Copies of this chain bind each other. A is one copy, B any other.
Amino acid sequence: MDASAHNDNVMRLGDLVLIYLDSRRQYLVQVSENLNLSSDLGNMALKEMIGKAFGYVGETHLGHKYYCLRPSTADLMFKVKRKTTIVYPKDLGYLLVETAVGPGSRVIDVGTGSGALAMVLAKIVAPDGMVFSYERREEFLDNAKRNIARAGCTENVKFYCRDVVVDGFDAQTVDAVFLDVPEPWAIVPVAETVLKGGHHLVSWSPNVEQVKRTVDVLKENHFIRVRVSEIIERDLLVRQQGIRPRERGITHTAYLVRAQKILVNSKD
């Protein structure tokens, strides 16, 4: 059950909570009657949170303060149980505003992986939209389903175990297609058949060659306005001892491709 369904800001059984001790000790937990969270700064009983408000300040058994925070979308993505790499929040945030996805949208997600993207899309298209999430590898799907259930998004996601290059999509006329696979170019022709005219396909890949090939295939398949960007996140440390950018960090994740479909003989 999603915490936002209630307006009273109370933590309930099953709610996801970000337990924050300090910048190195942050844990995404599900409120539970009989589990404890342990850290080197002490233990926290998860049942203590039941009925308290988000923002609650507790104490570990060693006397350290912990804070019960509402997880952001980025937190949910990062703290998902993963068997694969995930799309980074900085990249997904950018891609979302580069599409027209919103409440009520019907979208396809190819390459379910850990389900992090499907989860975020499900939250955005709720309550009436739907995410159709395709994955070839059965073992990933099981983990993804658990992550989606934990985040309370089950009603807005349909999973398919399928190689869409071979077997195509079930979904008809979707508002957007998200491709998170090693060979996005192979999926572009079949994606064209289910994407609404004028709407958005997005794809991301770490290597230049993948981007080149995807762009070429998009241009051959009635996609226009094809654009590629990178998003670089740079932290600024604001401290008493001085303000400066962080000294080490992530310097590359993926190139972000997006394009829009046109109707060749102007009929849909």
Contacts and interface: CB of A to CB of B under 8 A. Distances in A.
Interface of A: 4-5, 7, 9-10, 17, 20, 23, 26, 52-58, 67-74, 77, 89-90, 92-100, 102-106, 120, 123-124, 126-127, 173, 175, 196-200, 206-212, 215, 224-238, 241-253, 255, 260-264, 266-268
B55 A242 contact: no
A12 B233 CA distance: 40
Contacts of A268: 9-10, 53-55
Given A69-B262, A210-B242, A232-B234, 4 more contacts: A53-B196, A55-B199, A57-B266, A70-B196
Work out how many copies of this chain go into the complex. Answer: 4
A266 B105 CA distance: 38
A200 B224 CA distance: 37
Contacts of A211: 236, 238, 243
The list of the 8 closest CB pairs from A to B, nearest first, reads A55-B197, A54-B198, A207-B242, A93-B93, A53-B268, A245-B252, A55-B263, A55-B198
Contacts of A231: 90, 94, 231-234
A96 B97 contact: yes
A198 B96 contact: no
Contacts of A4: 100, 102, 104-105, 175
